[in-house]
Structure 1
Amino acid sequence: MFSRLLASIVLFSSALLFAGGAMAGNLAQDSWHQIDSANFHIITNGDPAAVRTLAQDLERYRAVALDLLGAKDDGTKLTVYAAADRDSYAGLVGDDLAELTNGLFDTTAEGSYALVNLDGRTGERQLEAREFLFHEYTHFLSYNGTTTHYPYWYSEGFAEFMSTMTFGPDNTYQIGAIPGERAMTLLYTSPMPLQQLLEATAYNTPDEDKGRVYASGWMLAHWLIMNSGKAEQFKGFVKDYNNGADPVKALSKNLGMSFSQIETSYNSRFQNGKFDLARGKVPASFKPARPKVKALSEQQTVVELARFLVKSGYNLEGVEAMVRYAEKKGIYTPELNAVRADAATRIGDFERAQQLLAQVSPPDRSSFWYQKAEAWLWLNREITKFGDERNKVMLKKARDTFVNLVNNQSEQAMHWYGLAMSMEMLGYPKKQYTEMLEQAYLRAPREQHIAQWMAQELYNQKDADYFARVAQPLMLEMTSEAEYNQMKMMLAELKPKGQESAKGGAKGSAKSSAKGTAKDSDRLSAP
C-alpha cells in the first residue's frame, strides 16, 4: 500500500535533492519588474519594454493556439519567470539545470509556472526569447487541468513545432518553420532511430540525448500535423498510450501503417530536408493586449524570488543567500520569515520553522502567507507521529486554518490537500475527507502525491472506472518500479468495465493544417 501519511513530507522535501548553488543572492541586486496582461503574470529582470512586447506576443499566440488545438479557455493565468541571462537563470535553477535547459515548465499543487532564460545558455542569442516562451506555454495548454499524457517525443516535439509561430501584417500568422537549434542538432548528430524515439521517456533518456529527442520529435510531429493526413487517427494513439499500450505498436495500429512505412516517412523528412509552412488568421475575436508594467521594490523582489526558490525546489539553498542580502540592505520583512519557515518545514526542521514563525508579529498573523506556513508546519509535525501521540488540538487548528484558506483561495489545490489530510488524521468519515481530496485532485490532477492518494481511496472503494481514470495516467509519471507494478496489479484486480480516455482527450494535437494554407516551405541546411 502507498505510504499516504508521508506524502506531505515527500512532496515538500524531495525537491531538496536538486538544490544547486547559492547564486540566487546576486539576483536581488537587479531591477525586477512585474508585467501583467489578461492571461500572464511575468516576473523579470530583463528589459521591461522588451518583455512587455513578449507579453503582447504571448497573448496573440494564446489566441491562435487555443483555436488550433480546440483547447478550452479556463481563464487560468500563468506565471512566467523570465531571467535576463544565463547567470540569472542559474540563480533560480542552479548551475546543473542552467547548463541543460533554456526553459522549464512545472505543474504543482500551488499552480503552474514557466521559467525561461531570455538569452540562451551561452549568453548568445541562440533562439528568439519568444520561442522559449511559446514552447513552455504550449506545455501549459497541453497539460493544464488534465491528466492526459503525451509521449516524451511528442510533448517536446509539438511544443517545438508551435514555438516557431510568427506574426505578419493583416493579423496573419505563420507556423511550421524549422527551429534553429533543432536543425543544428539534426545536422550534427542525425535523427534518433525511430523505435528509440518512440520508446524514449524523460527518465530513460540520458541528458546528452535529450536534444535529439526534441529535434527528432519535432520532425515527426511536423510530419504528423502537416503532411500525414493522420491527425485525427493520432488521437486514438494518445488514448491507447494513456491506457498503457506499447507506443510503437499503438502508433502503427492507429495510423494504419506498418512500422517500416512510418520509419520510411520519418527518415525521408530528414533526407528531403523540406518542411511545409502554413499560414492563417489570428481569430477575429482577439483584442491586442496592453500589459501593465510595474517596478518591484527590493523588498518585493526578495520575497518573490525566495518564494519561487521554495516552491520550485530547484535552488533551495539560495533562500538563505536572499536572507543575507535582505538583512544587509535593511529590507527584511515578516513575509520572508514565513517563506523561510516553509523551507524549514519542507526539510523536516520543525523547531526552526516554529522559531521563525514566532518572530512574526500578531498583526501579520492574519495574512494568508502566514496562515499557510503555520498550517503546514502543524500538519507535517503531526504526520511524523502515530495514533495517540498526535496532538489533536494542533490538528484541529490546522484543519480550521485550511478551511479559512480554502474559503479565501479556493483555487489552491494545496489548501484542499492539507484539509483532507488533517480531517483524515482527526478521524473524519472517509466520505468527508475524500470529498476534500477530490477537490485537490481536480485542481492539480498531475500532482503525483495527490493522485496517488486519490487512486488508493478509489481502489479501497472498489470504484473501478474512476480508479482507472486516475491510475492509468498516474502510472506514466511513476519512477518507482515497485509502485508502478503495484498500481498495475491493482488495475488488473479491479478490471474496469471499459477503458476510458484520460480527461481532456488529445488536447495537444493540432487540427492539422486546415486552419492555414501550406503554400511555402522551410529547408534544413548547414549553418
Structure 2
Amino acid sequence: MFHRTLALLVIFSSFVLSACSAQHNLGEETWYQVDSTNFRIVTNGDPEAVETLARDLERYRAVALKLLGTEGARQEQHKLTIYATADRQTYAGLVGPELAEMTNGLFDTTAQGSYALVNLDGRTGERQLQAREFLFHEYTHFLSYNRNTTHYPYWYSEGFAEFMSTMTFPTPGRYKLGAVPEERAMTLIYTSPMPLEELLRATVINTPDEEKPRVYASGWMLAHWLIMESGKVDQFRDYVRAYNNGADPVESLTSTFGVKLEDVQERYAQLFQEGEFEMVSGIVPKEFREVSPGVQQLSPQRAIAEVGHFLVLSGYNLGGLGSLLQYAHANGLMSAELISVQADAETRMGNYEAAEELLASVPLQDRSQFRYQNVDAWLGLTRQANTPGAERDREELKKVRDKFVYLVNNDEDTASHWYGLAMSMQMLDYPQEKYMEMLEQAYLRAPRQVHIAQWLAQELYNKRDAEYFARVAQPLLMELDDEEQHQQIKLMLAEMKAEQEPGVKARVNKTLASKERSGNENNEG
C-alpha cells in the first residue's frame, strides 16, 4: 500500500490556471460503471474486458474469504469501488506522473470508505502485467486490513498480496494458486533477493522507493515458503501478535516459529537458486454463484463528477481537478454533484465563504443529493471547529448535528458521518459518554484512521480506562509517523500501566518529571 499525506487544495483560480498546462484531460474520456454483487468498477477501459474482470474478482473473493477463514465476514453496506484506468496516461492523470512510474495499483482506506485503483494496461515495455493480478493484489489488502487494527510486516503484507494475485481459474469451479509473479521474478533476477534480516525489518517508511520492488519480490518468496512449505502457518499468528506488540521482527520470528534464522536464510537462498515453487489447486466454494455484472456508460456530467470526487478524496493528483472544472465549464457539463465536489475542495482548504457560495448555487431540487448533504454538513462543522469556542454559534451547531444525524440514519456504514456527529456533540457540550458512543462507532468502522483513533485514545486516557486505551493505543503506535506523537502515546501507555502496577510508577513519574523540566527550560529560552 502506498503511504501518503493528503495534500492541501489550491483555490479555484489556481485550479483554472493549472488546467492550462495539463497534458491529458480526464473529462474527455468515456467512462463506464460495471456493477457486480460486491464491486463497483469505474473505468475508461474496454467495458467487456472489465466485465470479465468483475466475474473473476467475485470468484477470487469467494476463494480468498474461504482460505483466510473469514467466510462469515460481515457484509459491507457499500460495494468496494475500484477505479480501473485504460492506460498509463489516464492512471497518471489520477495519481500524478511520479506515482504512476512507481505503481500499477493502489489501495486506501479513508473515513469515507475504502477504494482501489488499478492500471489495466500496466507499465510500458516488458513490465506489462495482467490487470487481474493488480486487482487481486489490491483486493487482498482490502481483505487483510478492512475494519481491523492488525498490522502485518511490510514483507508479508506485500508478499502475501503478490502470492494471492496469481490465482487463476483453469476450469469451471476450480482455482490454482502459487505461480511465480512474472514481474517479481524479474526483480529477483536483476537485483537479487533482499538480505533476510533487512527484509524482516523493512517498513514502508524506512525503505527507499527504489528498494520497494525488492520487498515485494523477496516478500513474495518468503510468503510462499511460509504458506506452502514451512508448516508454520499456525505459529505465524503468534508472530503477528508479537509484531503488533512491538517485538523485534527478527527475534520474534525465530522464537515463535521455533527455528534458527540461519536455517530460514539457507532455504530462502535455496529457493532463489532453484527457482522452483510448488502450486496448489482447489475447489471454488460450492455456495458461490456466478454473477452477471451490469454495465452502463456514465453521462459526461456524471463521469466528471465521479473523477473529481476521486481526485479530492485521494489527494494523489489534485492539479487534475482544475482541468476537469475548466472542461466542465467550457462544455456546459457543470452539475450539482461537481459543484459539491468543488465545495468539498474549498472546505478542506479553509475557504469557507467560497464553499458556501458554491453550495448556495446548487438548485433547491438537487440539494437532497447525498454528496451535497455530506459536504454541507462538513462545511458547517469545519467552520465551527475553527471558530474560538466562546464565539461558536450554538444554533448553527445544532443544525450541523441534525445534518449528521440524517447522514448516519441514511448511511450508517460510513465512519465520517459518526465522526462528524461526535464532533458536533462534543462542541455542544454533551456528556462525554454520549459523544463517545458516536466516536466509538466511527472507530469501529475506520480503526486505521489516525485522527479518529487519536481522539478515542485521548478520551479513554481521560477516563482512565486502561484496558480499552491499550487496545486502541497499541495499534495506533504503528500508524503514527510523527515521532513526537509516537512518544506521547508510549508515555501515556506507560502511565496507564503504572497505575495498575505500582512498582513501575516511580520510573514513569521520573520520566514525566524530566520531560516537564525540559519543556519548561525550552519555554524559558
TM-score relative to the length of structure 2 = 0.90
Match of 1:389 in 2: 391
* Alpha-carbon separation, structure 2, partners of 1:16 and 1:182: 35
Match of 2:61 in 1: 62
Asked if structure 1 preserves the Cα contact closer than 8 Å seen for 2:184 and 2:216, the reply is: yes
Q: Which has the higher mean CA deviation after the structures are superposed, 123-132 or 397-406?
A: 123-132
Aligned partner (choices 208, 219, 222) of residue 220 of structure 1: 222
**SS of equivalent to 1:257:** coil
* Alpha-carbon separation, structure 2, partners of 1:251 and 1:181: 27
Match of 2:189 in 1: 187
Match of 2:151 in 1: 149
Query: Tell me, which stretches of 5 or more residues in structure 2 are unaligned?
Result: 502-525
Match of 1:357 in 2: 359
Asked if structure 1 preserves the Cα contact closer than 8 Å seen for 2:59 and 2:290, the reply is: yes
Asked if structure 1 preserves the Cα contact closer than 8 Å seen for 2:175 and 2:284, the reply is: yes
* Alpha-carbon separation, structure 1, partners of 2:127 and 2:32: 22
Match of 1:3 in 2: none
Q: CA deviation at 1:17?
A: 8.3
Match of 1:8 in 2: none
CA gap of 1:124–1:263, structure 2 versus 1, over 3 A, is closer
Q: CA deviation at 1:347?
A: 1.2
* Alpha-carbon separation, structure 2, partners of 1:448 and 1:375: 21
Q: CA deviation at 1:208?
A: 0.3
Asked if structure 2 preserves the Cα contact closer than 8 Å seen for 1:25 and 1:325, the reply is: no
1:343 aligns with 2:345: yes
Match of 1:15 in 2: 7
* Alpha-carbon separation, structure 1, partners of 2:95 and 2:256: 39
Question: Residues 170-185 of structure 1 correspond to what in structure 2 (within 5 A)?
Answer: 170-185=172-187
Question: Residues 198-277 of structure 1 correspond to what in structure 2 (within 5 A)?
Answer: 198-277=200-279
**SS of equivalent to 1:145:** coil
**SS of equivalent to 1:178:** coil
Q: CA deviation at 1:361?
A: 2.1
**SS of equivalent to 2:278:** strand
TM-score relative to the length of structure 1 = 0.89
Q: CA deviation at 1:121?
A: 2.1
1:485 aligns with 2:477: no
Asked if structure 1 preserves the Cα contact closer than 8 Å seen for 2:41 and 2:83, the reply is: yes
Query: Match of 1:309, as an amino acid?
Result: L
Query: Tell me, which stretches of 5 or more residues in structure 1 are unaligned?
Result: 1-11, 499-527
Q: Which has the higher mean CA deviation after the structures are superposed, 277-286 or 49-58?
A: 277-286
Q: CA deviation at 1:343?
A: 0.5
Asked if structure 1 preserves the Cα contact closer than 8 Å seen for 2:127 and 2:183, the reply is: no
* Alpha-carbon separation, structure 2, partners of 1:281 and 1:13: 41
Asked if structure 1 preserves the Cα contact closer than 8 Å seen for 2:147 and 2:446, the reply is: yes
Q: CA deviation at 1:327?
A: 1.3
* 1:281-336 Cα distance to aligned partner (Å, 9 max, x none): 11111111111111111011011111111111111222221111111111111221
Q: CA deviation at 1:147?
A: 0.9
Match of 1:323 in 2: 325
CA gap of 1:258–1:159, structure 2 versus 1, over 3 A, is same
* Alpha-carbon separation, structure 2, partners of 1:371 and 1:51: 32
Give the paired residue count: 487
Asked if structure 2 preserves the Cα contact closer than 8 Å seen for 1:424 and 1:430, the reply is: yes
**SS of equivalent to 2:144:** helix
* Alpha-carbon separation, structure 2, partners of 1:213 and 1:225: 17
* Alpha-carbon separation, structure 2, partners of 1:15 and 1:240: 34
* Alpha-carbon separation, structure 1, partners of 2:372 and 2:39: 26
Task: Let me know the Cα RMSD of the aligned residues.
Answer: 2.0
CA gap of 1:382–1:28, structure 2 versus 1, over 3 A, is same
Match of 1:34 in 2: 33
Q: CA deviation at 1:125?
A: 6.3
* Alpha-carbon separation, structure 2, partners of 1:251 and 1:24: 49
Match of 1:450 in 2: 452
Asked if structure 2 preserves the Cα contact closer than 8 Å seen for 1:85 and 1:123, the reply is: no
Match of 1:510 in 2: none
* Alpha-carbon separation, structure 1, partners of 2:341 and 2:126: 34
Match of 1:299 in 2: 301
* 1:241-271 Cα distance to aligned partner (Å, 9 max, x none): 1111111111111100122222222222112
Query: Match of 2:26, as an amino acid?
Result: L
* Alpha-carbon separation, structure 2, partners of 1:13 and 1:56: 33
CA gap of 1:124–1:327, structure 2 versus 1, over 3 A, is farther
Whichever of the two has the greater Rg, that structure is 2
1:52 aligns with 2:51: yes
CA gap of 1:389–1:123, structure 2 versus 1, over 3 A, is farther
CA gap of 1:56–1:14, structure 2 versus 1, over 3 A, is closer
Identity of aligned residues (%): 61
* Alpha-carbon separation, structure 1, partners of 2:130 and 2:53: 10
* Alpha-carbon separation, structure 2, partners of 1:360 and 1:24: 30
Question: Residues 348-497 of structure 1 correspond to what in structure 2 (within 5 A)?
Answer: 348-495=350-497
Asked if structure 2 preserves the Cα contact closer than 8 Å seen for 1:24 and 1:322, the reply is: no
* Alpha-carbon separation, structure 2, partners of 1:17 and 1:120: 29
1:136 aligns with 2:128: no
* Alpha-carbon separation, structure 1, partners of 2:412 and 2:125: 41
* Alpha-carbon separation, structure 2, partners of 1:474 and 1:27: 37
* Alpha-carbon separation, structure 1, partners of 2:171 and 2:376: 53
**SS of equivalent to 2:129:** coil
Asked if structure 1 preserves the Cα contact closer than 8 Å seen for 2:188 and 2:218, the reply is: yes
* Alpha-carbon separation, structure 2, partners of 1:223 and 1:264: 12
* Alpha-carbon separation, structure 2, partners of 1:428 and 1:184: 59
